[in-house]
Chains A and B, each alone.
Chain A
Amino acid sequence: MNCPRCVQRIHRAAESCPHCGFSIADADAQFGIDPVQIRCLTDSAGILRRRDRQSVEAAMEKITRRFPQIFVALYTGSLGDAANIRPFSFWLLNRAVYEDAPSGMANDAGILVTIDPESKAATMVFGYLLDPFLCTQDIFECLSRAHPYWLDGRYADGFLKALNHLEVILRKKFKKARRDSKPQNPKPLTPHPAEDLGKGVRALDQTIAEPPTTEEATS
């Protein structure tokens, strides 16, 4: 696993990056400490048309139907600097509360795709549930499938291609996991403590636009 900021390898159970000292606290200081309530499909950048949204939601539901432990979320927004997209995705998957996520499903089971049409960058991160099964190369392969579409500004098509490939990879990983060990009964994950869900997406965007000062973050 790599650090979201310096992309250096970090060891298991590292409280902070041994190379750059990054932790969730730094992300909180940058993007806000409070959880944000958003939908799985949040198009803050407004790059998806209505028809695109329907197909994208259908593809996301399909993943959940095939893999009932997993849900997919898509966030589009302008993050200002491309350097922000890594720590932002890390922060959002930890701090967001997806109001339309399948009941009883925590963010551990989430796969978040973040697209920043302004800086022309996209990322895909996943929760702890898939940590033993997916690697960076798998995720990169998915994003590679979307790359030619995103070059043309066809964000929905690119996202669908990425999800199609993600499904293929998940199926392979599932087969491998089943071979390695007998499948266990799905264990309900601990739901995210929905504390102070007052902030919405707009607040989130404001937070990104106006990062809190170090003192606020410390307090």
Chain B
Amino acid sequence: MKFLAHFTTALAVISVTLLAASPTPASANPSPAESPPPSGEIVSPFIPIPEKFIPAYFGKRPESYLIDPQKLLSPSDFRDRLAFLNYHASDSAIDLFVFVIGADQEIPAGVKLDEIIGRFFSNGRPAVIVFYYPNSVQRSTLLLSPSIANTIPQTEQRRILESAVMQANRKSNVSEQTEQFLVQVSIRIYWMEQMISGKSAKNDKVPHANLNPALSKSAAKAAGFAKLQEVVMQLMIPAAAAFVTLVIIALLVAWRRLTARHFFPVHQVETRLGGNHAAGVGAVITFASTKVPPASQREQVSDFSRRF
């Protein structure tokens, strides 16, 4: 009897476990609305960008670095981000264009991005084009203009986007997310420039992008001052060495002049007027009166002649 009771209990436990693991009746019998689409058709959870905004997005080459015809960003955010993009353009050889698209939107299937980018960004400065989705940053995509698309490997492009998304996700606020995203893209573009120009980028030379225009200007000034300071520091040592050398030379010349001894050549001079050592009168000057200045005494005359 005891064995039978244990067997019954174990059977009950197994049945409960199986019941828990088995699908619910609802999932087992899905409703017609949630039934999977027919094979070969993919239903997107996003809605396309409204038709009326398509020309503003893709109708022509953007005249601004920030394209937001739907006004998805607040006016202040739009102003700050645009200021940053303008600053980036002034500081970098690669422009950064940002298309702002709604989090629940998608680019219509009829829009061929490769064709659009090839048409609008083949000429002019190289550019990085970002399709940015506020509140859904991970959906952002990044494309390069044809002039640099082949230079930068795909892995690097992917890394740029990943790092920007990662930075943006550290913030909870949409505005801050956008700010961090753009800053990171700007920084990575700097590295991209270094890669293109073949220079080895150093960590201490990574530019610190800042979205605040005032801070950006001050940062630019600080960078200019630092560069000037570096040049001055480089020139200071040679200049100081040259100055010390000049001072030493001047001192040596002065010392030599002070201690120089001059020897006149000795000529044999025939004696005159019976004088063994000297002859002649040299010069005479009288200082009896201020009315007889030296200028009037320049012509040396005998005292006999002067009296008359």
Interface residues, chain A, with chain B CB atoms under 8 Å away:
1-8, 10, 12-17, 22-25, 65-70, 82-83, 85-86, 89-90, 93-94, 106-108, 110, 112, 119-133, 136-137, 139-140, 142-144, 146-147, 150-151, 170-171, 173-174, 177, 181-187, 189, 192
Contact B283 A140, beta carbon cutoff 8 Å: yes
Taken together as a complex, chains A and B put the C-alpha atoms of A82 and B289 apart, in Å, by 14
Contact A151 B290, beta carbon cutoff 8 Å: yes
Chain B residues whose C-beta falls within 8 Å of the C-beta of A128 in the assembled complex: 269, 271, 277-279
Chain B, interface residues (CB within 8 Å), range: 35 or more
> Which residues in window 262-307 of B have CB below 8 A to A?
262-267, 269-288, 290, 293-294, 297-298, 300-305
8 cross-chain CB contacts under 8 A: A15-B272, A17-B273, A23-B273, A121-B286, A132-B269, A139-B282, A142-B283, A184-B265
Contact A125 B281, beta carbon cutoff 8 Å: yes
Chain A residues whose C-beta falls within 8 Å of the C-beta of B274 in the assembled complex: 15-16, 23-25
- A6 (CB) vs chain B CBs: closest residue: B302
The residue among B282, B284, B293, B303 with the most chain A CB atoms within 10 A of its own CB is B282
Contact A3 B294, beta carbon cutoff 8 Å: no
The residue among A23, A128, A137, A186 with the most chain B CB atoms within 10 A of its own CB is A128
Chain B residues whose C-beta falls within 8 Å of the C-beta of A120 in the assembled complex: 286-288
- B302 (CB) vs chain A CBs: closest residue: A7
Contact A123 B278, beta carbon cutoff 8 Å: no
The 8 closest A-B pairs by CB, nearest first: A24-B274, A107-B277, A120-B288, A125-B282, A144-B294, A139-B283, A140-B283, A83-B303
State the Cβ distance, B170 to closest chain A Cβ, in Å: 81
Contact A13 B272, beta carbon cutoff 8 Å: yes
Chain A residues whose C-beta falls within 8 Å of the C-beta of B263 in the assembled complex: 67-69, 183-186
- B288 (CB) vs chain A CBs: closest residue: A120
Tell me whether A90 and B285 are in contact in the complex, defined as CB-CB below 8 angstroms, given that A2-B300, A6-B302, A128-B271 are known contacts. no
Taken together as a complex, chains A and B put the C-alpha atoms of A60 and B306 apart, in Å, by 32
- A20 (CB) vs chain B CBs: closest residue: B302
B260 within 8 A of A: yes
Chain A residues whose C-beta falls within 8 Å of the C-beta of B262 in the assembled complex: 66-67, 170-171, 174
How many contacts between A and B, using CB within 8 angstroms?
Answer: 186
Contact A129 B282, beta carbon cutoff 8 Å: no
Chain A residues whose C-beta falls within 8 Å of the C-beta of B288 in the assembled complex: 119-121
Chain B residues whose C-beta falls within 8 Å of the C-beta of A24 in the assembled complex: 273-275
Chain A residues whose C-beta falls within 8 Å of the C-beta of B293 in the assembled complex: 147
B52 within 8 A of A: no
Contact A85 B272, beta carbon cutoff 8 Å: no
Taken together as a complex, chains A and B put the C-alpha atoms of A189 and B305 apart, in Å, by 37
Chain A residues whose C-beta falls within 8 Å of the C-beta of B297 in the assembled complex: 140
Contact A3 B284, beta carbon cutoff 8 Å: no
B261 within 8 A of A: yes
State the Cβ distance, A50 to closest chain B Cβ, in Å: 23
Taken together as a complex, chains A and B put the C-alpha atoms of A71 and B285 apart, in Å, by 21
Taken together as a complex, chains A and B put the C-alpha atoms of A17 and B294 apart, in Å, by 27
Contact B281 A123, beta carbon cutoff 8 Å: yes
Tell me whether A183 and B265 are in contact in the complex, defined as CB-CB below 8 angstroms, given that A90-B278, A126-B282, A143-B283 are known contacts. yes
Chain B residues whose C-beta falls within 8 Å of the C-beta of A127 in the assembled complex: 277-278
Chain B residues whose C-beta falls within 8 Å of the C-beta of A126 in the assembled complex: 278, 282
State the Cβ distance, A209 to closest chain B Cβ, in Å: 19
Chain A residues whose C-beta falls within 8 Å of the C-beta of B264 in the assembled complex: 67, 69-70, 129-130, 133, 173-174, 177, 183
Taken together as a complex, chains A and B put the C-alpha atoms of A13 and B276 apart, in Å, by 12
The residue among B270, B278, B290 with the most chain A CB atoms within 10 A of its own CB is B278
Chain B residues whose C-beta falls within 8 Å of the C-beta of A129 in the assembled complex: 264, 266
- B301 (CB) vs chain A CBs: closest residue: A7
State the Cβ distance, A1 to closest chain B Cβ, in Å: 4
- B275 (CB) vs chain A CBs: closest residue: A94
